[in-house]
Structure 1
Amino acid sequence: MQQNRKVERRTILKAGGASVAALGLGATATACGGGSGAGDGTVTIRYAWWGAEDRAKRINETVKLFEKKYPKIKVKTDFQVYTDFWKKFNTQASGGNPPDVFQNAIGFLRKYDAKNVLLDLSEQVKAGNLSMDGFRAGLEKFGEIDGKLLGVPVGSNSMALVIDKPVYTKAGVKPEQGWTWDDFDAAMKKIRDKAGRAGDTGPYNVMYLYDLYLRQNGKAFFTEDGLGFTEADLKDWWTKAEKGVESGIYADQKKVAQIKPKSAVAAELSGGEFTWDNFTVRYSSEGKSEYGLAPIPTTDGKKTGQYLGSLMLSASKRTQHPKEVAQFIDFMVHDPEVAKIMGYDRGVPATQAQYDAYKPTDPVNKEIAAYEESLVAAGVLEPITPHPNGADVCEAAFLRLGEELGLGKRSVDDAVKQFFTESKTALSS
């Protein structure tokens, strides 16, 4: 798979909010939604997503399959890179004419539901046009908000520790399920001392890792209506990150910034870093070593705080063709042939039928599947923390301020204060 697509996908979840945080969506107009009908009963629906050229090619192949099965439904496709997608979507939604069906993520559900943009697909489930059966590991609940079905998962991923295997072997480090943060810190020192590089890229701005750490300690990054942690909590997290860089167990953040978009692991600045499991392919395309997935460290040796995340398909509340949109979503998440085309492009397939239909043969994707299976077998998966309206702005602030802190542009106290100021404004709007 191509490097640019993997970098793009990392941007989606790790840096996504930064580009859309400043984009406000005003009250949507009452104009009718997208899609059109023809005299012979044929209807056209609009489908939009973000991604790179490779994803677009795969999705267009699946659309052709859908149109063969449903010859009376034509699909007009549109894709953009992540930042451009949300700019265009905002403009369309503000004008009352968003695409009929579109790719979505958890951080945007409450935001666009509050703007009256998203269709509750529950009625289409009741009508038999969309099945929510056969999803893996409770993913059928992922897009439910306040009793409404606002998104249907297309794939799953979970946070993991991506490691340079030879480096870990040289340092004599063997991470196992249930290892603690104390074990992790000791391992980072071994890598620094025996392998001659930083043990980890550093957790400054990895919001979803901090969420897991909070969940391990009975808190969470988000609650349904705000932040689930205090300024003191964040100060502790960022202070530890700063000390880690000073001691050499975390990578020099200036060097990390210089080699972007290449990862610090592939650039041999660090022995590992926390990211989403399905991003592992990018490391093989960027670097020369052998890379693998390791478990998330724990506070008590048991609770990782993990959940399965997912990209989703959502529908416009203004679509003129809710039945056809539901049939399209149903096809995209259940049809086995779709999985064979898409592979793990958007994560491990969300439904069991698609999971069974696509069996990866390459070592990297086989390890991704095995990793998620291990999470299910270990019983560590929990429901995802709700994301309130404004979550995307909070994520953007966490990313930006974490980077500024790592580059020495802000003190810990200043970064913490600024984060809470921006987040409180975003969450109260």
Structure 2
Amino acid sequence: MQQGGNARTGIERRTILKAAGASLAVAGLGATATACGGGSGSADGTVTIRYAWWGGEPRAIAIKKSIALFEKKYPKIKIKPEFTDYEAFWEKFQTQASGGNPPDVFQNAVAFLRKYDKRGVLMDLKTQADAGNLSLDNFRNGVLAAGQADGKQLGVPVGANTMSLVIDLKAFRKAGVQPEFGWTWDEYFEALQTIQDKLKIAGDTGYFTIMYLYDLYLRQNGKAFFTDSALGFTEDDLTRWWEDGYKRVRSGLVADPKKIEQVKPKSGLSAGLAASEFTWDNFSIRYEGEGESDYGLAPIPTTDGKDTGQYLGSLMLSAFTGTQHPKEVAQFIDFMVHDPEVGKIMGYDRGILATTEQYEAYAPSDGPDKGVKAYEEEVAAAGVLGKITPHPSGADVIEAAFLRIGGEVAQGKAKPADAARTLFSEAKAAFAG
């Protein structure tokens, strides 16, 4: 791993990456397309498979362009698209899966892999790779592992992202604060105190309610949020994390959660309520579209001056194990993750492109995508990327609970120790579900 001392050179150019001039790539919600029944076939040998995803209108437009390319190459395979926003997608998917009628191919994420594998919904895509219908080669920086659990390939990544710290560049410069690779949590909070003292705004929007950031902190300390079947930390661990967070809310170092709530759906960072916010790096483009300042990506604080705990997360494509057309489904997934033209069309809408063919085919032209690419390359070069921990069944429920209960702590509605007890109780129920 790259040592903190050596990594502190050339920081302004290399680790604070300006994101400029973009609108939110996932803004707006696409109209939901409905479909009934599973994949179908016709008398001339043409088959139809259903492909479902969540996201906004720009993503839908790009995916439909990609589908048109696929159908040109494979004229005997027709793709029926279904798309909606995130919450509606999973509500609908749960109903479809329970009825034995999920889409043949669908967008997926790590929190749902074991949940739906446990229910017999997900195909092990290694079977199609072994049959020669799908390539599992040429995935970058070990991201293929994001789709693996229990020895199976349950999803194939289409993009990769990692947690980052988005900062208001003007605020940090005015305060004379310079983030550095390898800086510690103490140094981060000292920087936020300087910002508060000099600019009279909060330093952070609410770091301690983000499950994936807490996971990084735990990984820095030899633990992780999840083990294969349970939580990987104690109630005492979480109580301390939330106690520290609430102290910083009361001191004004973390923004008032009521004010954060009032500006939604705008971020507290782009609304000028705070100077920094932790989020996935490819989400960072939203701030330029929402805010009046300039925003950039800065390094994740560390415990020991070198280990950030970071790993690559991913959106991925999964397949229904009961599809009537497994070969065609595999061919479609293969095309969507490897075809260079698809890479050019999709860009970084779903994260940095996961395969070398698509990564090399797409040259970012705007500031935000260039910034995200440079940030991930810097993190990879630092040697800090670890392997993602598979999420147990129920992880999606626990993530939502962590955000909700952490928010109650931030608002002073729940004491940290009581909140931690509640989270563990809800996690136990989620794991049993």
Q: Shorter-chain TM-score: which interval?
A: over 0.9
Indicate the residue corresponding to 1:5 in structure 2: 26
Distance in 2, matches of 1:215 and 1:139, equals: 18
Structure 2: runs of 5 or more not aligned: 1-21, 30-36
Instruction: Tell me the CA shift for residue 6 of structure 1.
Output: 4.9
Indicate the residue corresponding to 2:60 in structure 1: 56
Distance in 1, matches of 2:71 and 2:416, equals: 54
Indicate the residue corresponding to 1:128 in structure 2: 132
SS state at 1:5 partner: coil
Instruction: Tell me the CA shift for residue 2 of structure 1.
Output: 4.5
* Cα RMSD, aligned residues only: 1.4
Alignment of 1:175 with 2:196, yes or no, is: no
SS state at 2:420 partner: helix
Indicate the residue corresponding to 1:25 in structure 2: none
Indicate the residue corresponding to 1:199 in structure 2: 203
Per-residue CA distance 1:6-56 (angstroms, 9 max, x = gap): 588xxxxxxxxxxxxxxxxxxxxxxxx820111111111000011112211
Alignment of 1:94 with 2:115, yes or no, is: no
Alignment of 1:68 with 2:72, yes or no, is: yes
Distance in 2, matches of 1:178 and 1:4, equals: 30
After the TM superposition, which residues 278-297 of structure 1 pair with which residues of structure 2 at under 5 Å, given as runs? Answer: 278-297=282-301
Distance in 2, matches of 1:97 and 1:252, equals: 45
Query: Which residue of 335, 345, 351 maps to 1:347?
Result: 351
Instruction: Tell me the CA shift for residue 266 of structure 1.
Output: 0.6
Distance in 2, matches of 1:349 and 1:360, equals: 11
Alignment of 1:298 with 2:311, yes or no, is: no
Structure 1: runs of 5 or more not aligned: 9-32
Counterpart contact for 1:200–1:250, Cα < 8 Å: yes
SS state at 2:165 partner: strand
Give the direction of change, closer, same or farther, for the CA distance of 1:290–1:2 in structure 2 (3 Å limit).
Answer: closer
Distance in 2, matches of 1:386 and 1:150, equals: 11
Distance in 2, matches of 1:224 and 1:112, equals: 15
Counterpart contact for 1:160–1:277, Cα < 8 Å: yes
SS state at 1:76 partner: strand
Distance in 2, matches of 1:34 and 1:147, equals: 27
Query: Which residue of 305, 311, 322 maps to 1:318?
Result: 322
TM-score, scaled to structure 1: 0.93
Instruction: Tell me the CA shift for residue 217 of structure 1.
Output: 0.2
After the TM superposition, which residues 129-278 of structure 1 pair with which residues of structure 2 at under 5 Å, given as runs? Answer: 129-278=133-282
Counterpart contact for 1:6–1:281, Cα < 8 Å: no
Instruction: Tell me the CA shift for residue 413 of structure 1.
Output: 2.0
Indicate the residue corresponding to 1:368 in structure 2: 372
Counterpart contact for 1:7–1:261, Cα < 8 Å: no
Give the direction of change, closer, same or farther, for the CA distance of 1:111–1:331 in structure 2 (3 Å limit).
Answer: same
Give the direction of change, closer, same or farther, for the CA distance of 1:263–1:152 in structure 2 (3 Å limit).
Answer: same
Distance in 2, matches of 1:35 and 1:105, equals: 22
Instruction: Tell me the CA shift for residue 278 of structure 1.
Output: 0.3
Counterpart contact for 1:7–1:282, Cα < 8 Å: no
Distance in 2, matches of 1:317 and 1:399, equals: 32
Instruction: Tell me the CA shift for residue 176 of structure 1.
Output: 1.2
Distance in 2, matches of 1:303 and 1:238, equals: 22
Distance in 2, matches of 1:394 and 1:280, equals: 24
Distance in 1, matches of 2:49 and 2:250, equals: 54
Structure 1 runs, 4 residues or longer, greater than 4 Å off = none
Distance in 1, matches of 2:155 and 2:61, equals: 23
Alignment of 1:111 with 2:120, yes or no, is: no
SS state at 1:344 partner: coil
Instruction: Tell me the CA shift for residue 4 of structure 1.
Output: 7.8
Indicate the residue corresponding to 1:28 in structure 2: none
Indicate the residue corresponding to 1:11 in structure 2: none
Indicate the residue corresponding to 2:16 in structure 1: none
User: What is the aligned residue count?
Assistant: 406
Distance in 2, matches of 1:86 and 1:310, equals: 17
Identity percentage of aligned residues: 63
Per-residue CA distance 1:182-207 (angstroms, 9 max, x = gap): 11111011111112211111213110
Counterpart contact for 2:192–2:203, Cα < 8 Å: yes
Instruction: Tell me the CA shift for residue 98 of structure 1.
Output: 0.8
Per-residue CA distance 1:80-122 (angstroms, 9 max, x = gap): 1111111111111111111000000000000000000001111
Counterpart contact for 2:71–2:79, Cα < 8 Å: yes
Counterpart contact for 1:49–1:78, Cα < 8 Å: yes
Instruction: Tell me the CA shift for residue 404 of structure 1.
Output: 1.6
Per-residue CA distance 1:160-198 (angstroms, 9 max, x = gap): 000000111111111111100111111011111112211
Instruction: Tell me the CA shift for residue 3 of structure 1.
Output: 3.7
Per-residue CA distance 1:63-89 (angstroms, 9 max, x = gap): 000000101100000001111111111
Indicate the residue corresponding to 1:334 in structure 2: 338
Counterpart contact for 1:121–1:149, Cα < 8 Å: yes
Query: Which residue of 379, 393, 398 maps to 2:397?
Result: 393
Indicate the residue corresponding to 1:23 in structure 2: none
